[in-house]
Amino acid sequence: MSDSALADTAQPPGNEISRRMLAEQVKLAFNQIGFGLLATMFCAIAYMIVVWDVVPFARLLTWFTALTALTFIRRLSSTVFFRQKPGAKEAFRWSVIFNAGAFLSGLLWGVVGVFLFPENFIGHQVFLILLVAGLSAGTASTYTAIKWAPPLFIIPSMGILTIKISTISGDIYPEMGAVMAFYTLAILGSASRINKATTHTLSLRFENVGLIEELEKTNKKFKQLSEATFEGVLVHDKGEILFTNNVLPGMFGYKAGEVKELNALDFVAPEHRDFAKDKMLSGAEEPYETSGISKDGRRVPVEIHGKPVPYEDRIVRMVAIRDLTQRKESETALKESEERYRDLFENANDLYYTTNLEGKFTSVNMAILDTLGYRREELLGKHYSTVVPPELIEKARKMTRRKLDGEERTRYELEIIGKDGRQIPVELSTKLIIKDGEPVGVQGAARDMTERKKAEDALKILKRALDQTSEMVSITNNKGVIEYANRAMEKVTGYSSEELIGRTPRVFKSGEHGNEFYRNMWDTIKAGDTWSDCIINKNKSGELADEEMTISPIKDHKDDITHFVAIKRDISERKQSEEKLKKAKEKAEEATRLKDKFVSLVAHDLKTPFNSILGFLALLRGGNIGSLNPQQQEIVDRTLTGGEKLVQMIDDLLDLSLLQSGKLPLRRIAFSARGVIDSVVEEIGYLADSKNIRIEIEVLKIKKVYADMKLFHGVIRNLMSNAIKFCDKGGLIKIFTLDDSNATIAVSNTGVEVEPGILDNLFKHEIKTTTRGTSGEEGTGFGLPFCHDVMKAHGGSIRVESKKAEGSVFYVCFPSDQPD
């Protein structure tokens, strides 16, 4: 019986109400357990006192200890139950605990009838029967909240004792056993009826509570849903508002309490209320858009969706109102965006198009039409092979397959064909057009690369030129980091371009220049100016090199410096040559000083004896010493003429030496050029007479020259002597002036031309250009260089023109007037 009962109680309740009823039953049972436990202990103590001397003490003590321990455990479980306050989900477990306690307690009282029964004392037996019967009756009244608790106590306690009484021999015991059995059944029946009544009462109670709670949950859920939605919810009966959620008042600018006095149609703009009223009265359930009106009169685009619903004892209309302001704004923005997209698509400089998956054009912009020369109707519906060269169609198909295989965007270069057959290089970027999760076409953007290709070709040419130039070229960014180095840079420095790129020019720093040198360089180029100077750098092997370097900034369209370009030339050999030249110049200057000293000494030492000789010759020619025969007279005349020429040459040589050394002071005065010219003609006219040369002077006497008269005389004399020397016999020498701001005097002669190979060297000291005259005359070779140095010292010039069969013209240009 007890095993079956425990098995039955092991079945959990099937629904929430059953679980809650069981929880309440367990709670009632634990509330009443205290009285049962107290009665159990009272009866146990009373029985011990009565049978103390008639049953074995050890058995009695063991039984009492076990019963006391069980009673304590049951009391402790009651305390834990009320402390934890378990819910409905744990009620089943606690009912099992309660039933187990009742069964064990009944079993211990049943044990008394077997091991602690007073066999020979009928009074003690009757006392035991009354105790157990009383406990069973109490159990039937206090444990009935739980269906199986009374049977689990009564059956083991009363059943065992009834069996014990019935088996005792004697006239009275069978009747007593029958009475006890009847009593047991009566008690069990009474407990069952009490349990059914209690269960029925609880069932009615919890069914009502469940309905109320379900209703409350439904109302709460509806309210939560209506408040959680973004829509305004309104329940009305023919316009009379019964309920609104919190969203609706705010949607139209009202406070929560203000909408109760309104009519449902007050939320609709006046011009649309008749339409909304027709929808309301007809019970229409399809949503429709209209214009709402807020408290301040602002129009609000809304969507209204109404539906008849039961409400309490009547049918009302529940309406959901959705504010469409944001959607309308989004639609407007989307429309504007689409229009902007179309404008951008149509007017973009790049070539935009779309095709379907078959490769046929579905749209093209104006840039494609302008670039290719087609009309729109000529391309729409045509395959892209119309504008792609046959040899590149497979490449285009491959790119489409790559996109279909999952590649998001492909970018590649291609050539397209214009209507006129010309090929245009483009850079093409394409991606799939996705609709409803499926690819429906391809969108492409192409950029005309014609100009870029030209620029790239120009850059390649420039790079080749830079790589082939002998000068070192490097380019850095505006931070000084090297981005390019040409081959000459690699060859001279020993670094490869890979080693230089990413580093700064500090890698070439030699330590030969101070920080101020580099600071000045950096400040100059950062200011946007070009820096140029000589610098000593160090190559990869550690060798030093003299370089001539120029650094210039490169600016963008905003005039901001983006890069610097450095051009360097290795001038180590030039430096060595300059050093050698410097030493040679020093030696030459030393030789010149020695020459000048020598010339000065020689001229001085020669003039003194020559003057004496010329004096004696003059005496002989004048007949002061005696008369000379014609032959002697001719010899004296020629000797005197040659001596005078030699003295003049010595004077010119001395003047030339002083001019070159800068020691001859110019005694400039303003004088008549004609007077000096006449003097020269008078001095050397006999030379012209000897060759029957005619001399014409076309120089005005008022023509003034501002110069050193002595040196001017020497220049005219050398030019006249040179003209006579190279003039043919019977020729003509002309001396004339040019009509210019300077005093330009020309000496021309008819005769041979100056050879072209000699013409450029006539005025150079280091190259001797003297040649024999037309009559075999010899020259010294320093007459024209002397004229050049004199003119240079005066700030003037000398030049020559010579033509075949016409002779030569020498021009000397002096300042015409004395400066202020």
What does the pLDDT read at residue 723?
86
Split at pLDDT 50, 70, 90, the class of 13 is: very low
Q: Distance between CA atoms of 136 and 724, rounded to whole angstroms?
A: 178
Which of 501-505, 574-578, 620-624, 645-649 has maximum average pLDDT? 501-505
Q: Distance between CA atoms of 45 and 461, rounded to whole angstroms?
A: 123
Query: In this predicted model, what pLDDT tens digit does every residue of 201-214 receive, in sequence order?
Result: 766 666 555 444 55
What does the pLDDT read at residue 219?
52
175 in Cβ contact with 166 (< 8 Å): no
709 in Cβ contact with 669 (< 8 Å): yes
Question: Is residue 756 exposed (0-12), middle (13-18) or buried (19+ Cβ within 10 Å)?
Answer: exposed
Kindly tell me if the per-residue pLDDT of 601 is higher than 70: no
What does the pLDDT read at residue 8?
39
Which of 22-36, 174-188, 215-229, 269-283 has the lowest average pLDDT? 215-229
Decide which of 300 and 704 is more confident.
Answer: 300
Put simply, whether the predicted model's pTM sits higher than 0.85 gets the answer no
Cβ neighbours around 469 below 10 Å, total: 13
What does the pLDDT read at residue 565?
92
Q: To 5 degrees, how large is the angle CA 669–CA 671–CA 675?
A: 140
Q: What backbone phi and psi angles, to 5 degrees, belong to 518?
A: -70, -35
What does the pLDDT read at residue 600?
59
What does the pLDDT read at residue 23?
76
What does the pLDDT read at residue 2?
38
Which of 219-233, 549-563, 587-601 has maximum average pLDDT? 549-563
Query: In this predicted model, what pLDDT tens digit does every residue of 351-404 receive, in sequence order?
Result: 888 999 888 999 998 888 888 899 999 999 999 889 999 888 888 888 888 878
- Of all residues in the chain, what percent carry a pLDDT higher than 70? 82
| Residue 129 per-residue DSSP state | H
**Rounded mean pLDDT of the chain?**
80
What residues contact residue 547 under an 8 Å CB cut-off, 6+ apart? 472, 534, 535, 536, 537, 568, 569, 570, 571
Kindly tell me if the per-residue pLDDT of 551 is higher than 90: yes
Query: In this predicted model, what pLDDT tens digit does every residue of 448-469 receive, in sequence order?
Result: 888 888 877 877 887 787 777 8
Decide which of 372 and 190 is more confident.
Answer: 372
Decide which of 133 and 296 is more confident.
Answer: 296
Split at pLDDT 50, 70, 90, the class of 189 is: confident
- Of all residues in the chain, what percent carry a pLDDT higher than 90? 10
Select from 336, 280, 268, 349 the least CA-distant residue to 308. 280
Kindly tell me if the per-residue pLDDT of 544 is higher than 60: yes
b/e sequence 433-466, b meaning 16+ C-beta within 10 Å: eeeeeeeebbbbbbebbeeeeeeeeeeeeeeeeb
Tell me the average pLDDT across 235-258: 85
Give me the helices (H) in 662-808, please.
673-690, 709-725, 756-759, 783-794
**What are the structural domains, with CATH classification, of the chain?**
2-208 (no CATH), 229-323 (3.30.450.20), 329-448 (3.30.450.20), 453-569 (3.30.450.20), 571-662 (1.10.287), 665-814 (3.30.565.10)
Hey, what amino acid is at 732? L
What does the pLDDT read at residue 592?
61
Three-class secondary structure of residue 424 per DSSP: strand
What does the pLDDT read at residue 523?
92
Kindly tell me if the per-residue pLDDT of 66 is higher than 60: yes
Q: What are the E-state strand segments in 740-791?
A: 743-749
Tell me the average pLDDT across 598-608: 59
Going 237 to 243 to 247 to 252, the CA torsion angle's sign is positive
Select from 243, 246, 293 the least CA-distant residue to 271. 293
Kindly tell me if the per-residue pLDDT of 1 is higher than 50: no
